[in-house]
Amino acid sequence: MTARSASPHGAQRRFPPEHFLNRELGLLAFNRRVLSQARNPQAPLLERLRFLCIVSSNLDEFFEIRMAGLKEQIKLRSTTLSTDGKTPQEAFQEVSAAAHALVAEQYALFNDEVLPQLAGEGIRFLRRVDWTDAQRAWIREYFFREVMPVLTPIGLDPSHPFPRVLNKSLNFAVELEGKDAFGRSSGAAIVQAPRVLPRVIQLPSQLCDCAHGFVFLSSILHGFVGELFAGMEVRGCYQFRVTRNSDLFVDEEEVKNLRAKIQGELPQRHFGDAVRLEVADNCSPAMTEFLLAQFGLGEADLYRVPGPVNLVRLMQVPDKVGRDDLKFPAFQPGTPAALQKSRNLFASIRAGDILLHHPYQSFNPVIELLDQAATDPQVVAIKMTVYRTGTDSVLMQSLLRAAQNGKEVTVIVELMARFDEEANIGWATKLEEVGAHVVYGVVGYKTHAKMLMVVRREDGREGSVLRRYVHLGTGNYHPRTARLYTDFGLLTCNEEIGSDVNEVFKQLTGLGRAQKLHHLWQAPFSLQSNIIAAIRAETEAARAGQRARIIAKMNSLLEPETIAALYEASQAGVRIDLIVRGVCALRPGIKGLSENIRVRSIIGRLLEHHRIFYFHAGGEEKVYLSSADWMERNFFRRIELAFPVLDRKLKRRVIAEGLQMYLADNRQSWEMDGNGGYQLRRGTRAKPRCAQCELIELLKP
C-alpha cells in the first residue's frame, strides 16, 4: 500500500507509507510535551496549572477538528489511506487509545501533584465534604443569589425531550426518585450551566484557613441541586460535557455571498455531530449508557475523568491569585535601536530595513506604523490582510480611523479563519460602514499571508513620488498573541519587495494571471516549488562534494513531496536540522533514509510560532521568513508568503536568534526519534542553554 500527495495541478505521486508518521498521533505527542511542562518541578506552580489548562484547550480543538474528521471519514465509509498507510478506522483506534492515555495522565498529574502543591502554597479548591458551616452558609447564599435564578432544570419525559446541548458546555445529569407536583416520575433531569456563570468561585478570605480558597461551580450545583427539585429525592448528580464537530462546511463553489453563508453556519457549530463525551468518574453506568445513546456515541468516545470535566476554565485562577513568585517573571519587550532615534516610523524605515523579533521585541512599532498612517496627510492608501486580530484590536481601530480620514483603505478579511470567523465578520462590517474596501480573498483559498502596505506621497529628486512601506510577518496582526508567540516581522520600503506585495494585493482584490515576483515565494503558485528547488540545490551541492546545509523552523511538517526531497538530500549527505514545534511526519535518523536529519521541538513559556527557512546556497546563505508551514494546505490551499531577509546584518540576526540559539538549547528542546518518540535533551556536562530565556535577556530594553 502507498500514500499519495496532491500537487496543485492534481497530479499524484506515490510515497511508501513506512516513511511517514501519523498526523493525529503527532498532535497528541505534542500535547504530551506540553503536559511535561505541567510536570516540571522547576516551572512556577501557577504556570504548571496553566499548562494543564492549555493541554485541555488543545485537546478540545483536536476533537472538534481532527477526531471529528476521522469520525466523518468512518461515517462515510472512506477507504482513503492516510500518508502513513492507515485506514480511517485504524487511525481512529490508535488515536483514541493514545488520547485516553493522555487524559488519564493529565488528571493524575492534576490530582496527585498540582492540587496538593497548590494547597501547600495556600491555594485550595474546597471539596464539599470539607466545607465548614460558615463556608456552606456563604455558598448556599451564593447559590440562591447568583446561580439558581439563571438555571433551567429540564425533566425528561414525553413533553420534555432531551435538550440540545451546546458544544463544550457544562451540564449535569440528575437521577431522581419520587413524583413532582403533576404526579410525574421520569426519574431523570438535565441541568445546563449557563456560560455567564464562572466555573471557579473565590470565597471571602475571612472564611478560609488559607490565602486563597476556591470552590468549583460543579461543587455548588452538586451541593444544592435538590433545591431545583422540591419534594423529590436526588439519587445522583453527574457533570458531563459533549464536544462536537466544529469544522464549518461551506460549499464555496455554490456560495454566492460568502459572508452571509458563514454567518448562517456559525450558530450550527454549537450543535454539530457529537465526537466526545466527558463524564465525572462517579457517573452511574445506567446514566452513562443513557448519555452515550443520546449523543450517538460509543464506548471509545467516552472519557471518564476524576475531576472537573473542563479544566480549561481553571485558566482564570492564576490571574485571581496575586502570587508573582508562583508565575514566570514578567519581562519588558525591547525596541530595535533603529526605532529609538526617531518617533517617525517612515523616516526610520527609509534609513534601512528593520527586523522585529516578537515577543522579545515590542509589537508596538507595527501598531504605531498603522496609527501614524491613519493620520499622516501624506499617506494616500493602506492595504492589509486580516487573519486573526481579536475582538478589541487597536489595529482595526486605526484602519477605521484611516478610512474616516479619507485614506483609500483596503482590507483582505479571511472569513474562514477557524474560531475567529465571528470577530472577522464584525470587523468587516465596521470597515464597510466607514467606506473601506473589504475583500474576502479568493474563494477556495484561505488568505493566511501577513502583509501590510502603506502608500505615501513624498518629495523625490524628480518631484513627487509614491513610496510603499511594507510590513511582512510570520504571525498574526494580534497584539495579545504578539506577547505570547515567537514571530518575526520585517519593516521595509525596498522597492522590489513593495512591488511584489502590491502584486499580491492585486491578485486578491482583482482578476488576472499571477505575475512573476522579484523576491517573494507565494502559495499556491511558487512557494512549494521554490522550497523543493532550494532543497535540491543543496542536494546537488552535496553530491558535488561542496558544503551543503539546511535548517528550517516551523510549526508542522507534513507535505510528502517536501519530506521526500529532504530524505533525498539526507542521502546525498546534506546536514539537515529541523525545529518543528508540533506534528512532524518525517522520520529522522533512519539509516539509509534520513541519518543526516535531526528533528527537535522547543516547548517553553512562549509558543514557538515563527517559520524560518535557511539554505547554505554556496555560501550566499539564503534566509526566508514565512507565514506557512510545510503542509499541503499551506502550499496548495492557502495564500501564503515567504520573504527573504536581504540586509546582511538582519540576516545574521535571524540565523543567530531564530536558529542557532534554538539548536543549542538543552533545557527546553525535545529530540525526536524515527518512531515519533521524543526525549527531553539534557546536556549533563554542557552549559545550560535555554533559547527563550537567552532571547528575553538579549533583547530586553
| The one-letter amino acid at 611 | R
Q: Where does the chain hold its CATH 3.30.1840.10 domain(s)?
A: 125-316
Specify the pLDDT at position 254.
45
Q: CA-CA distance, 69 to 64, in Å (whole number)?
A: 8
Ranges for all domains in the chain classified under CATH 1.20.58.310: 21-107
Residue 690 pLDDT: 96
Span of 155-164, 281-290, 591-600, 626-635 with lowest mean pLDDT: 155-164
pLDDT digits 0-9 by tens, 460-488: 777 789 999 999 999 999 999 999 999 99
> pLDDT (tens digit, 9 = 90+) per residue, 272-305?
899 999 999 999 999 999 999 999 999 999 999 9
Residue 187: its pLDDT value, please? 82
Q: Is pLDDT at 219 greater than 50 in this prediction?
A: yes
Residue in the structure block whose three cell numbers are 486573526: 388
**Average pLDDT of the chain, as a whole number:** 91
User: In angstroms, what CA-CA distances link 82 with 23, 78, 93, 498?
Assistant: 9, 11, 14, 40
How many CB atoms neighbour CB 414 within 10 A?
Answer: 23
pLDDT at 457 over 80: yes
pLDDT at res. 512: 76
In the prediction, which pLDDT does 415 show? 74
More confident residue, 157 or 628: 628
Q: Give dist(CA 277, CA 298) in Å, integer.
A: 9
At 447 the three-state DSSP class reads: strand
Over residues 669-692, mean pLDDT: 89
pLDDT number for residue 251: 46
DSSP for 258-289 reads HHHHHHHHGGGGGGS-EEEEEEETT--HHHHH
* From 105-114, 510-519, 550-559, 679-688, the region with the lowest mean pLDDT: 679-688
CATH superfamily for 337-514 is Endonuclease Chain A (3.30.870.10)
pLDDT of residue 418: 56
pLDDT exceeds cutoff 90 at 261: no
The phi and psi torsions of 29 (rounded to 5 degrees) equal -65, -40
For CATH 3.30.870.10, list the domain ranges present in the chain.
337-514, 522-698
Scan for cell 508551514, then name that residue: 629
- What is the helix (H) or strand (E) element at residue 93, kind and residue range? helix 88-109
Which CATH number does the domain 522-698 belong to among 3.30.870.10, 3.90.226.30, 3.40.50.1970, 3.30.70.20? 3.30.870.10
Q: Report the percentage of the chain scoring pLDDT > 70.
A: 92
Beta strands in 186-292 (DSSP E): 188-192, 200-202, 212-216, 233-244, 274-280
For the residues 38-52, what does the mean pLDDT come to?
A: 97
Q: What is the pTM of this model?
A: 0.92
Alpha-carbon distance of 479 to 549, in angstroms, equals 35
Q: Look up residue 239 and give its amino acid.
A: Q
Confidence (pLDDT) at 44: 98
Residue 447 has pLDDT above 60, yes or no: yes
User: What DSSP letter does each residue of 376-388 carry, written as one string?
Assistant: -TTEEEEEEEES-
User: For 326-341, what is each residue's pLDDT tens digit?
Assistant: 999 999 999 999 998 8
Which residues sit opposite 237 in a β-bridge? 174
Q: Which of the residue ranges 48-57, 185-194, 362-371 would you say has the lowest mean pLDDT?
A: 185-194
The reply to whether 471 belongs to the active site is: no
User: CATH assignment of 125-316, given 1.10.287.90, 1.10.150.20, 3.30.1840.10, 4.10.1240.10?
Assistant: 3.30.1840.10
Instruction: Say what the pLDDT of residue 358 is.
Output: 98
Find the catalytic residue in 19, 357, 358, 448: 448
> Given this model, what pLDDT does residue 382 score?
97
**Mean predicted confidence (pLDDT) in 498-505:** 97
> What is the distance between the alpha carbons of residues 645 and 650, in angstroms, rounded to a whole number?
7
Residue range 21-107 forms a domain whose CATH class is: mainly alpha
Query: Which one, of 241, 244, 218, 229, lies nearest residue 156 by Cα?
Result: 229
